[in-house]
Amino acid sequence: MTISYRLPDGATLAFDAPATGLDIAERIGKKLAKQALAVRVNGELRDVYLPVPEDAEVEVITRDSDDGLELLRHDAAHVMAEAVQELFPDTQVTIGPTIENGFYYDFHREESFTPEDLEAIEQRMREIVRRNEDIRREVWDRDEAVRFFREQGEEFKAEIIRDLPEDEEVSIYRQGDFLDLCRGPHLPSTGKLGDGFRLTKLAGAYWRGDSSQPQLQRIYGTAWRDRKELKAYLKQVEEAEKRDHRKLGREMELFHQQEEAVGSMFWHPRGWRLRQRLEQYIREKMEKHGYQEVCTPQMMDRSLWERSGHWDKFGDDMFTLCTHDDRELAIKPMNCPGHVQIFKQGLKSYRDLPVRIGEFTTLFRNEAHGALHGLMRARTFGQDDAHIFCTEEQVNEETASFIRMLREVYEAFGFTDISVKFSDRPEVRAGADEVWDRAEASLKQAVESVGLDYTLNPGEGAFYGPKLEFVLRDAIGRDWQCGTLQVDFVLPERLDATYRAEDSSERRPVMLHRAVLGSLERFLGIVIESTAGHLPLWLSPMPVMVATIVNAVDDYAIEVRDRLAAAGVPAELDLRNEKISYKVREHSGKKVPVILVVGEREAAEGKVAMRRLGSKENRELGLDEAIEELARQRQLPL
């Protein structure tokens, strides 16, 4: 009897009897056998010491591959669990998956872990790696496994086993004296983990991600192939912290926050100019695309929010206040009910559709304390919010043209990597199932008609309708959900919006809720972090600084500033009695995109010396030429 295994390079290895992954690796080379962490058999990852029973495609997995790294991280989680149980026997283990860059494990324990505990756990992990314990898979009887974990006081594990699908094998991995339920596969021994890991942080997490369930303690770690990769990662994290928008916001004199206004901004002059600039850009963009801007009340009577359904579904997030005559008002968390009121004024004909209504006024949402995060998650913020009232037949074209605009806008900020998620009906929702059927079908058809790839995001729709979510990838590889388009058959019904159709019957319009940037505050935060504060000239709140070398040229510097201003380029003057390097350093630190240096020579020749942020190059050019260039770059990229 011969069994043959086909390798990725096409070669075939023949054995007389079923060989283990390790045997196969050994046949290929001694070194590979040493490095083997697992094998992929017909596409499925398996433990390296298990026999491969029949002819198969076999690939040996080492730490060099992505799969190998994933295995290392998974094992790091298990080694951590073993370390924790050795040091703190009263701890129950739950689950410990890999995540981007690392892993975590959730534990249940009466006492809290301290940062010192983390160090001790990490030390013990290194010891376990040195012990080089074998990690072996065992298949247990389901009831026996439940009984075992029960006896160990591991109620959470017992619960997981009980909930496993009937036909699934209950595999237990034995690693020294530590046994853990796990699907696997695993490294052959703890020594293979190496020393490229570190425990990073401690946080709370709910059992099964449900806030009504017990709270667990989650320990996060990062794990890499070796110490060098670990160091590179830690360095990268450090760099990312440097571009935190709250830090840059302070350095660039954009905004601040303080205790008395949690979740809101104090916008400083430069910050507000930036925020206004962004708003102006999207306003003009929307005008070009046929939107009309409106302004609706900041607060409206409770009864309207009850009719719209917000009171029920969004009530916890709404701020309310009472008038002297005991009326209860809600401060708007969304514009939709207001826009419906505008649509309803006067009779609308099918000839009027689509009606596109946009608004940028501030919204107020009572976000949970722990969710707040600078500009990224605020309680007061503006949105490039708009609602399109149209017929069912127009949903397609409106969706398509919205997506065109969205792409143009993202491109203006340098975001070209965009993906789409399709979110369908959530559990808590308004409207009958048949209405949802129609809304989902309609939106699905619209995405497909523009040839957009999308992934399904089940149960994540808004309470009034399904939605598309547009996710952009920023310059440092982070994903952000900004744009959204939601189809709504419910609100026009609830708030009784109608139009007169061709056959003179009264019909309900479909309402599309849509935003490209989403929260203007949040979008700014993303742009700031993604550019590390190096904003494009058209957006920058302080695009040009005119800095003098000697006071004798003050008058010329003033002329330069005034002529820039006349050409639509805001500029400030730095006439201080300081060295030019001092001025350059200071304004560069504040991320001013262009510094125009003027000294005796420039003044005499009607020139400026232009220095761009991030470059040491120093261009000397005529004043007219410089103004022309800067004015062009200051134009909104419409």
Q: For residues 571-630, which are near RNA according to CB under 7 A?
A: 577-582, 584-585, 588-589, 595, 597-602, 609, 611, 613-614, 616, 618
* Residue found by looking up tokens 């399709």 in the block: 422
Q: Which is nearer to RNA, 550 or 566 (CB)?
A: 550
Peptide bond into 185 cis (omega under 30): yes
Q: Which is nearer to RNA, 301 or 578 (CB)?
A: 578
Q: Which is nearer to RNA, 568 or 589 (CB)?
A: 589
* Choice from 399, 519, 531, 540 touching RNA (CB under 7 A): 519
Half-sphere exposure of 45 (CA within 13 A, CB side): 16
Query: 490: buried, middle or exposed (CB in 10 Å: 19+, 13-18, 0-12)?
Result: buried
Query: Closest Cα partner for 470 from 361, 384, 353?
Result: 384
Query: 112: buried, middle or exposed (CB in 10 Å: 19+, 13-18, 0-12)?
Result: exposed
Q: Among residue numbers 8 through 67, which ones bind RNA (CB under 7 A)?
A: none
Position 522 contacts RNA (CB under 7 A): yes
Residue type, 355: V
Q: Which is nearer to RNA, 283 or 612 (CB)?
A: 612
Q: Which is nearer to RNA, 46 or 246 (CB)?
A: 246
The residue from 40, 245, 467, 634 that is catalytic is: 467
Position 370 contacts RNA (CB under 7 A): yes
The residue from 175, 217, 257, 383 that is catalytic is: 383
Position 484 contacts RNA (CB under 7 A): yes
Catalytic residue status for 467: yes
Q: Which alpha helices (H) appear in 16-173, and where do they start and end?
A: 21-28, 30-35, 66-87, 115-131, 142-151, 155-163
Token readout for 232 is 């590179």
To the nearest whole angstrom, how small is the minimum distance from the Cβ of residue 637 to RNA? Answer: 22
625/113 Cα distance (integer angstroms): 64
**Angle, vertex CA 19, rays to CA 4 and CA 74, nearest 5:** 115
To the nearest whole angstrom, how small is the minimum distance from the Cβ of residue 180 to RNA? Answer: 21
Q: Which is nearer to RNA, 22 or 80 (CB)?
A: 80
391/382 Cα distance (integer angstroms): 28
To the nearest whole angstrom, how small is the minimum distance from the Cβ of residue 29 to RNA? Answer: 41
Query: 566: buried, middle or exposed (CB in 10 Å: 19+, 13-18, 0-12)?
Result: exposed
Catalytic residue status for 245: no
For 338, 360, 496, 511, the CA distances from 357, given in Å and listed in that order, are 10, 11, 17, 11
* Choice from 63, 157, 186, 246 touching RNA (CB under 7 A): 246
To the nearest whole angstrom, how small is the minimum distance from the Cβ of residue 175 to RNA? Answer: 25
Token readout for 112 is 């809290």
To the nearest whole angstrom, how small is the minimum distance from the Cβ of residue 146 to RNA? Answer: 26
Size of the site for RNA (CB under 7 A): 74
* Choice from 185, 263, 337, 465 touching RNA (CB under 7 A): 263
Query: 421: buried, middle or exposed (CB in 10 Å: 19+, 13-18, 0-12)?
Result: middle
Q: Which is nearer to RNA, 238 or 453 (CB)?
A: 238
Torsion of CA 462, 463, 465, 469, to 10 degrees: 0
To the nearest whole angstrom, how small is the minimum distance from the Cβ of residue 201 to RNA? Answer: 4
* Choice from 9, 66, 167, 259 touching RNA (CB under 7 A): 259
Catalytic residue status for 394: no
To the nearest whole angstrom, how small is the minimum distance from the Cβ of residue 545 to RNA? Answer: 11
Q: Among residue numbers 269 through 308, which ones bind RNA (CB under 7 A)?
A: none
Q: For 118-133, b where at least 16 C-beta lie within 10 A, e where not — what string?
A: bebbbebbeebbeeeb
Position 201 contacts RNA (CB under 7 A): yes
CB 248 within 8 A of CB 591: yes
**Residue 569: phi, psi to the nearest 5?**
-115, 105
The residue from 365, 429, 587, 611 that is catalytic is: 365
The residue from 23, 106, 384, 385 that is catalytic is: 385
Q: Among residue numbers 350 through 369, which ones bind RNA (CB under 7 A)?
A: 365, 367-369
Long-range contacts for 42-46 (Cβ within 8 Å, ≥24 apart)? 45/71, 45/185, 46/21, 46/184, 46/185
* Choice from 15, 88, 206, 272 touching RNA (CB under 7 A): 206
Torsion of CA 428, 432, 433, 435, to 10 degrees: -120
Query: Closest Cα partner for 419 from 388, 460, 457, 476?
Result: 457
The residue from 348, 494, 513, 591 that is catalytic is: 513
* Stretch near RNA under the rule CB under 7 A, chosen from 11-19, 60-68, 298-306, 517-525: 517-525
Q: Which residues contact 11 (CB under 8 A, 6 or more apart)?
A: none
Half-sphere exposure of 110 (CA within 13 A, CB side): 2
Catalytic residue status for 256: no
To the nearest whole angstrom, how small is the minimum distance from the Cβ of residue 595 to RNA? Answer: 6
To the nearest whole angstrom, how small is the minimum distance from the Cβ of residue 194 to RNA? Answer: 25
Contacts with RNA, 155-194, as mask; x by CB under 7 A: ----------------------------------------
Q: Which is nearer to RNA, 64 or 600 (CB)?
A: 600
To the nearest whole angstrom, how small is the minimum distance from the Cβ of residue 549 to RNA? Answer: 5
Torsion of CA 424, 429, 435, 439, to 10 degrees: -30
Catalytic residue status for 383: yes
Position 108 contacts RNA (CB under 7 A): no
For 15, 420, 454, the CA distances from 4, given in Å and listed in that order, are 6, 44, 41
Q: Which is nearer to RNA, 112 or 504 (CB)?
A: 112
Position 114 contacts RNA (CB under 7 A): yes
Position 476 contacts RNA (CB under 7 A): no
Q: Which is nearer to RNA, 63 or 467 (CB)?
A: 467
* Stretch near RNA under the rule CB under 7 A, chosen from 15-23, 390-398, 502-510, 515-523: 515-523
Q: Among residue numbers 377 through 416, which ones bind RNA (CB under 7 A)?
A: 377-379, 381, 383
Catalytic residue status for 387: yes
To the nearest whole angstrom, how small is the minimum distance from the Cβ of residue 197 to RNA? Answer: 17
For 547, 581, 595, 596, the CA distances from 612, given in Å and listed in that order, are 13, 14, 7, 9
Q: Among residue numbers 436 through 465, which ones bind RNA (CB under 7 A)?
A: 460, 462
Q: Which residues contact 237 (CB under 8 A, 6 or more apart)?
A: none
Supply the DSSP string of 412-458, one letter for each residue.
HTT---EEEEEE---SS--S-HHHHHHHHHHHHHHHHHTT---EEET
Q: Which is nearer to RNA, 147 or 373 (CB)?
A: 373
**Where in the sequence numbering do the catalytic residues fall?**
336, 365, 383, 385, 387, 467, 513
